[in-house]
Amino acid sequence: MGQFGQLVWRGFPCALTIGSLICLVVVGIGCTRAHKAEDFYFLRIELQNLTATPRSMIDTTLKHFDITHSDKFIQALDEVNSTTTLNDFFSIGLWSYCTGNITDNGTYNTTYCSRPRGGFWFNPIDTWGLNGTNTNDFLPGKLKKSLDMYRNASLWMAIIYLIAVIATVLEIMTGLIAVGGNRLGSCFAWLLAGVSLLFTTAMAIASTAIFATLVTTIRIVLKPYGITGHMGRHMYAATWLAVVLSLLTSALWLLDCCCCSRHRTTPRPITADHQQSYRYRSVPLKGVTAPQDTSYPPPMVLASPPSLQGSYQYPMHQIPTPSSPVGAYEPYKHV
């Protein structure tokens, strides 16, 4: 894989990680400003038709679901609504809530958003001004259990969200290092992608389960009072899209670590010391020099024809024998 191919291959999971971070940011800023509360919210409670349902239908529904203290609860709601005129809707986010009125054409006009804070949870008793009427003692049992579950899980949900965001940011930084060809950076990016995937998935599951339970309880318990609720599809789409992108990123980084490692394709250069061990050198031997191999085992030495010029160096196994002296007796020589 060439340099351009490596750049594209490692740049793709980085782009997916950036997309996951954008989705997490959208989830975090939902219901923090008036113009950001129209579509991005976990739960919206509508009180537009508060106490508009006939009393006979209310009593029948409450008796069917076995909700006790219904008279005192509805009396408190009637009293608060007649004195302060509650807003038509309340949109709940991760850090705060927004409220406003519904126009005649069905438009949600947000007029107020609470200050974002960690561990936020929407308390209808305080928000609707029912804390001075002892209404908390007369809350329907199912609604009280759902609110307690929501309150206990809200802080942990915020912590999980922050860990997911931090892990995603670190994954982007490590992935940019890995784009330059650092294979160790790819491994670290995969580890961070796993952490990001774990906490993003946990946050998505927790928020979906908590608010789905809460909206179901509101529809069952408070619908007789004209109070309804529904979940925000845009917020959950962003939440689960972050999970999908994080899953794809984790798979790509794992594939890069396991299957796309670079192997050496060029021969390793031979060092000077390594080359020196294969060189020949001449040593004197009774006036005759012969090549000597310093490596082990020694290579086979082949004889070469004698040279007619200059001195001749014989191999070690072909040392020449001394020639006969001039004038020596030759018995087979005839005149």
Q: Is residue 255 part of a domain?
A: yes
For 91-118, give the secondary structure using H, E and C.
EECCCCEEEEEECCCCCEEEEEECCCCC
Please give the residue range of the domain that contains residue 14: 3-56+66-260
Question: In this predicted model, what pLDDT tens digit does every residue of 229-260 receive, in sequence order?
Answer: 999 999 999 999 999 999 999 988 888 777 65
pLDDT score of 66 = 44
Average pLDDT along the chain, 335 residues, taken 10 residues at a time:
63 89 93 80 84 47 47 68 78 92 85 89 83 64 86 93 95 82 76 93 95 90 81 94 94 78 48 51 51 54 52 51 52 50
CATH number of the domain where residue 208 is located: 1.20.140.150
Bridge partners, residue 98, by sequence? 91, 113
Q: Is residue 306 part of a domain?
A: no
CA–CA gap between residue 42 and residue 239 (Å, rounded):
10
CA–CA gap between residue 98 and residue 87 (Å, rounded):
10
pLDDT score of 34 = 80
User: Considering the entire predicted model, what is its pTM?
Assistant: 0.69
Domain count, the chain: 1
Q: Is residue 289 part of a domain?
A: no
Q: Is residue 277 part of a domain?
A: no
CA–CA gap between residue 169 and residue 193 (Å, rounded):
10
Q: Is residue 231 part of a domain?
A: yes
Q: Is residue 281 part of a domain?
A: no
CA–CA gap between residue 335 and residue 319 (Å, rounded):
34
Question: In this predicted model, what pLDDT tens digit does every residue of 19-67 receive, in sequence order?
Answer: 999 999 999 998 888 877 678 899 999 886 665 544 444 444 444 444 4
Nearest Cα neighbor of 200 from 232, 240, 142, 235 is 240
Q: Is residue 45 part of a domain?
A: yes
Q: Is residue 133 part of a domain?
A: yes
pLDDT score of 168 = 94
pLDDT score of 1 = 52
Bridge partners, residue 290, by sequence? 283
